[in-house]
Amino acid sequence: MLEYDSEVRAIIDAEWERQSSVLRMIPSENIVSDDVLEALGSCFVNKYAEGYPSKRYYQGQENNDALERLACARACALFGAEHANVQSYSGSPANMAAYMALCEPGDRTVGLGLNSGGHLTHGWKVNFSGQLYEPHQIEVDRETERLDYDEVAKLCLEIRPKVLFIGTTSYSRAFDFARLREIADACGAYLVTDIAHVAGLVAAGAYPNPVPYADIVTMTVHKTLRGPRGGMILCKAAHAKALDRAVFPGIQGGPHMNQIAALAVALGEAARPEFKAYGHQIVKNAQHLAAALTARGLRIVSGGTDCHLMVVDLRAKSIDGKTAATALERAGIVCNFNAIPYDPNPPRHPSGIRLGTPSLTTRGFKEAEMERVADWIVGVLDAPDDEEKIARTASEIREFLKAYPYHHRAGA
């Protein structure tokens, strides 16, 4: 492979070495199976397919059509959806398609604020969702750091948004989707849920499924779902036409058929019993890690987690999130700095870090390993300038990881 390009080969090898020798704890990252990788690198990379099955703008589509139909059928079966669109390049365009299918520019929307765990595309002011529409943001309750559904209902009745857009990048609690549907109905809004982070947990039955309640459900497929980089959208049959039109030709041209091939493989893997066990183990690992960090003197935002991630408030250790994340990286623990709700510190140096367990769980980590992870993390946070200790931790982790392979076959 890459016989004639030693420069790129060397960089890929270095990245493989980096990924395999550190604790990868960014919750939006995972490790795809060899089969997903093979499909992603298949001959579908050579083919254009603008349009939808049986309605394309190029010839030579019989295999593209079969592939896209298979991916959509697998998506609908896995999540219990009426319609699937598998063409979105990633999560932000998937969210854009949801807005375009349901709203006109200038319409009012309600979404979860960034510091409360929402995403840029849920109405943040510098994002298209905050500029093309009229966004109103909900924040979590100051005390519980959880969504207060009475407050959501109050805001929605006051604002009367066209869309209630609920999803997360760092909110760790399970949503009450039935309640959100009631709130949307009471104010005449559509309900869109963005399950980019928890899609794999939903597929595994380890997190509530919003599909019965939401008009549109968007997701990325590369996080807990363990597929290739990409987006996917599910919706009620009534929105299918508007949604498909929003994706193509509304937002994008030809779909990436190699990405859809890899997604079809990932959806097949996610339907297997091993994946159910995997999804539940991700959550058990996250809950165990949250408890282990709490026992070592750290505070977890909202007191714990119902999913694969948590935000850790570092103020008790007198260290900011960025300093912590860079020290942890030197020690072989890769995460990201993150704001906590109502963060008194600036976004570039917020008070927290965000940790997740999907990729460690793929490598075979269970609760016992989470105890080791908690020790390593707290050891670094207690002495972020002790370079000797940090180097020792990095080499301990590198050694430890040799027993946990960095690739896996389908469903394993």
* Contact set for ligand DSN, span 46-85 (CB under 6 A): none
* Contact set for ligand DSN, span 148-187 (CB under 6 A): 169
CA-nearest of 256, 367, 283, 238 to 247 is 256
> CB-wise, 32 or 183, nearer to ligand DSN?
32
> CB-wise, 28 or 357, nearer to ligand DSN?
28
Please check whether residue 248 is in contact with residue 242, taking contact to mean a CB–CB distance below 8 angstroms: no
Q: Which of 24, 47, 173, 223 is catalytic?
A: 223
> How many residues in the shown chain lie near ligand DSN by CB under 6 A?
4
- Minimum distance of ligand DSN from residue 28's CB (angstroms): 3
Query: In the β-sheet with 352-356, what is the strand arrangement from edge to edge?
Result: 299-300, 309-313, 352-356, 336-338
φ, ψ for residue 86, nearest 5 deg? -110, 15
- Minimum distance of ligand DSN from residue 91's CB (angstroms): 6
Q: Which of 218, 220, 305, 393 is catalytic?
A: 220
C-alpha gyration radius of the chain: 21
Q: Would you call 48 a catalytic residue per the annotation?
A: yes
> CB-wise, 348 or 409, nearer to ligand DSN?
348
Q: Which of 229, 236, 276, 372 is catalytic?
A: 229
Q: Which of 50, 176, 182, 343 is catalytic?
A: 50
* Contact set for ligand DSN, span 118-137 (CB under 6 A): 119
CA-nearest of 329, 310, 257, 265 to 32 is 265
221: left (phi over 0), alpha (psi -120 to 50) or beta: alpha
> CB-wise, 61 or 95, nearer to ligand DSN?
95
54: left (phi over 0), alpha (psi -120 to 50) or beta: left
Q: Which of 194, 244, 269, 306 is catalytic?
A: 194
> CB-wise, 28 or 115, nearer to ligand DSN?
28
- Minimum distance of ligand DSN from residue 217's CB (angstroms): 16
Residue keyed to tokens 């009745």? 157
In three-state secondary structure terms, 267 is helix
In three-state secondary structure terms, 59 is coil
Nearest residue to ligand DSN, using CB? 28
Q: How big is the chain, counted in residues? A: 412
> CB-wise, 124 or 365, nearer to ligand DSN?
124
**Is 21 exposed, middle or buried (CB count within 10 Å of its CB: 0-12, 13-18, 19+)?**
middle
List, in order, residues 6 or more apart from 250 with CB less than 8 Å away: 97, 100
List, in order, residues 6 or more apart from 1 with CB less than 8 Å away: 9
315 DSSP 8-state letter: G
Q: Is the peptide bond before 249 cis (omega within 30 degrees of 0)?
A: yes
Q: Would you call 229 a catalytic residue per the annotation?
A: yes
- Minimum distance of ligand DSN from residue 395's CB (angstroms): 28
CA distance 398 to 402: 7
- Minimum distance of ligand DSN from residue 196's CB (angstroms): 6
Contact between 91 and ligand DSN by CB under 6 A: the answer reads: yes
> CB-wise, 29 or 65, nearer to ligand DSN?
29
Residue keyed to tokens 């009631």? 182
- Minimum distance of ligand DSN from residue 172's CB (angstroms): 12
- Minimum distance of ligand DSN from residue 345's CB (angstroms): 20
Q: Which residues bind ligand DSN (CB under 6 A)?
A: 28, 91, 119, 169
Where in the sequence numbering do the catalytic residues fall?
A: 48, 50, 194, 220, 223, 229
